[in-house]
Amino acid sequence: MAVKRDTRREGPEPRLVRVLMELAKFGPKMRPIERACKLGEAKAAYVEIYPESSVGGRLKADEPGGFAAFVAKREQTSKKGINWYVMIFTNLMPDSRARLLAAPRADKMTHLKALSELAPKAQARALDLLDTGRAASLREAVAMVAGKADRAPRLRPSQRRALADLPTEALVAELRARGLTVQGGRDG
């Protein structure tokens, strides 16, 4: 989508303008990881231009400022969403960001947030599980690394109603077919 440029010689103002233009042009078509990376780059440029807007800066309470407010007004989106994307970018290790950008996945922002909350080595393990095919999705890989994979999968209300109508023997057979025991844990 976006053209690769050598941004080392680019000052913060042109970089901020370029990234915001790319977000405006390609934003709806971007994957969440691409959007997080663009917003992270834009925030870095914004803080270079307005150092008082950074955490611990000298921005007064009555002054409208801050990166999230600036971008949210420009893109007509919420400050909370902008902050989530920037937090994901900040918390993901550079190697994890590169691996996610290289793979043509359609990961959700909530799954990226869960990955970003893991320790750096755990992020690498989750992406290894995903790359080797031992996890079907990023959500599953994060759950496996975080130790939450032992939980029984949640059933939708329609599935629960259908299972409630089955006789007991058929219910046990259905649970076993799903890889669950009668007590709700997974079969070993």
**How many angstroms separate the CA atoms of 29 and 102, rounded?**
16
Residue 2 has pLDDT above 70, yes or no: no
The tens digit of pLDDT for each residue in 107-140 reads 788 888 999 999 989 999 999 998 888 888 888 8
**How many angstroms separate the CA atoms of 86 and 19, rounded?**
14
> What residues contact 48, with CB distance under 8 A and at least 6 apart?
12
pLDDT score of 62:
43
The tens digit of pLDDT for each residue in 17-39 reads 998 899 888 877 889 999 999 99
State the distance between the two ends of the chain, measured CA to CA, in whole angstroms: 46
Q: Which residue's structure tokens are 């909350």? A: 117
Q: Buried b vs exposed e over 123-140: b needs ≥16 C-beta within 10 Å?
A: bbbbbebbeeeebeebbb
**Helix ranges (DSSP H) in the chain:** 12-26, 32-49, 67-75, 79-91, 94-102, 109-116, 120-132, 138-146, 157-164, 168-177
pLDDT score of 125:
92
pLDDT score of 60:
47
pLDDT score of 38:
92
What count of Cα atoms within 13 Å lies in the side-chain half-sphere of residue 115?
33
pTM over 0.85: no
